[in-house]
């Protein structure tokens, strides 16, 4: 306990956990592609590989995922920060792909479009829908991951080349990924 | 499509999404505190505030959460990278709190210990258990968030002071949080 005092920062400040910010791609009933920027995202299983995204029921993307049972998770590079932030606006009112000039590409594997300009794309089939509260969590099985050739290093995406954007909730600020620190499953052996 | 070619990088490479690395705190049946380092984590609802962590059934922490229906999510600072990486080892074999000299503190709100030295702590009550595959996802309602006084800026944790660790799966490398880029809900207006 020496020298450390923890203060309650209230439940509203819960989400100061940094998160990668991603764009979820879906089709609506009329085949119109939509993109929505999401911060409540995370890998949630390795076998089968799954990713979870949480959305409010009121969003356009929510209805699209319920209808199509598919979505893509697109990881933007820092150079697309404006387009990514724009993706927070509602798809019911604006054509976000047109407005941002990003290119929707129909996935061969799932009934959803991915963002062609983004370096890393996960194509997902809906597996589970969990009603939590304000947000509904969709768990998608990742049927394929696609990466832009330019970001690959020995066949694996290199994080400094992908150059993703981190969102820090509560303060609502974007950060980049910083310096390399250490290898996992390795530095802890020095304890 | 101009100039961009996406390559399939196989499902095994699905999880190149960077993730904050956190330590999950639990008690076992004998009140022994345990810590486990986890990368499959993410906020999944705002109201009630919830966080999801995914674990394999074989872990010590899995049994503890099932038994106690509570856990803490502790965000380490970069200076605790060795202790954090050590937390990947199995709690069945080693006393990780003792080995790392980190201090378990009993939460007043939930039946789980938090890590006193870490700057940000979420105290969670188990709400949902979702069996996905190799991993089980536990969704916990965040009853309180606690932050070390030194990392607060106007009552909210400042990310550069928290200085969390990011894990990039597949390459299994740790990175820091990088430079400030822009304000969310703002820079996109320049589209």
Do the Cβ atoms of A147 and B13 come within 8 Å?
Answer: yes
pLDDT at A2: 38
B132 neighbourhood in chain A, CB within 8 Å: 44-45, 48, 50, 127-128, 139
Mean pLDDT of B52-62: 96
Mean pLDDT of A93-99: 89
Mean pLDDT of A76-91: 91
| Cβ-contact B143, B51 below 8 angstroms | no
Comparing B149 with A114, the larger pLDDT belongs to A114
Q: Give the residue from B1, B5, B6 with the most A CB atoms within 10 Å of its CB, the best one to mutate.
A: B6
Least confident segment among A65-69, B13-17, B77-81 = B13-17
Mean pLDDT of A29-53: 95
Each residue's pLDDT tens digit, B83-137: 999 988 777 778 899 999 999 999 999 999 999 999 999 999 999 999 999 999 9
Mean pLDDT of B34-53: 95
The rounded distance, in Å, linking the Cα atoms of A143 and A68 is 15
Do the Cβ atoms of B156 and A1 come within 8 Å?
Answer: no
Of all residues in chain A, the percent with pLDDT exceeding 90 is: 73
Long-range interactions of A27-33: CB distance < 8 A, separation 24+ = A27/A64, A27/A68, A27/A111, A27/A112, A27/A113, A28/A60, A28/A63, A28/A64, A28/A67, A29/A67, A32/A95, A33/A97, A33/A104, A33/A113
If you measure CA to CA, which chain B residue comes closest to A38?
Answer: B44
Predicted confidence band of residue A97 (pLDDT cuts 50, 70, 90) = very high
| DSSP 8-state assignment for residue A188 | G
Each residue's pLDDT tens digit, B12-40: 444 578 899 999 999 999 999 999 999 99
Do the Cβ atoms of B158 and A171 come within 8 Å?
Answer: yes
| DSSP 8-state assignment for residue A74 | E
Among B8, B17, B142, the residue with its CB nearest the CB of A75 is B17
pTM (2 decimals)? 0.93
Predicted confidence band of residue B79 (pLDDT cuts 50, 70, 90) = very high
Do the Cβ atoms of B132 and A133 come within 8 Å?
Answer: no
Among B139, B177, B184, the residue with its CB nearest the CB of A85 is B184
Name the phi and psi angles at B23, rounded to 5: -115, 125
The rounded distance, in Å, linking the Cα atoms of B42 and B142 is 12
Q: Helix (H, G, I), strand (E, B), or coil: what is residue A95?
A: coil
Nearest CA to CA, how far is B72 from chain A (Å)?
12
Comparing A31 with B6, the larger pLDDT belongs to A31
How far out from the chain centre does Cα B182 lie?
A: 24
Contacts of residue B187, Cβ cutoff 8 Å, sequence gap at least 6: A81, A82, A85, A174
Buried b (16+ CB within 10 A) or exposed e, B128-153: bebebbebbbbbbbbbbbbbbeebbe
Nearest CA to CA, how far is A106 from chain B (Å)?
12
């Amino acid at each position: 306990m020496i020298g450390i005092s923890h203060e309650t920062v209230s439940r509203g400040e819960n989400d100061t956990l940094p998160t990668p910010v991603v764009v979820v791609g879906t089709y609506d009933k009329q085949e119109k592609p939509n993109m929505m920027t999401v911060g409540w995202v995370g890998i949630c299983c390795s076998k089968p590989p799954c990713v979870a995204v949480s959305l409010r029921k009121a969003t356009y993307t929510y209805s699209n995922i319920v209808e199509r049972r598919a979505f893509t998770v697109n990881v933007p590079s820092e150079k697309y920060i404006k387009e990514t932030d724009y993706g927070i606006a509602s798809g019911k009112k604006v054509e976000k792909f047109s407005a941002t000039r990003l290119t929707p590409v129909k996935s061969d594997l799932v009934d959803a479009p991915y963002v062609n300009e983004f370096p890393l794309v996960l194509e997902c089939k809906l597996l589970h829908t969990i009603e939590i509260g304000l947000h509904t969590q969709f768990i998608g099985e990742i049927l394929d991951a696609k990466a832009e050739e330019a970001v690959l290093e020995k066949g694996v995406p290199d994080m400094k080349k992908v150059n993703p954007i981190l969102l820090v909730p509560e303060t609502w600020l974007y950060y980049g990924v910083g310096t390399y620190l250490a290898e996992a499953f390795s530095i802890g052996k020095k304890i």
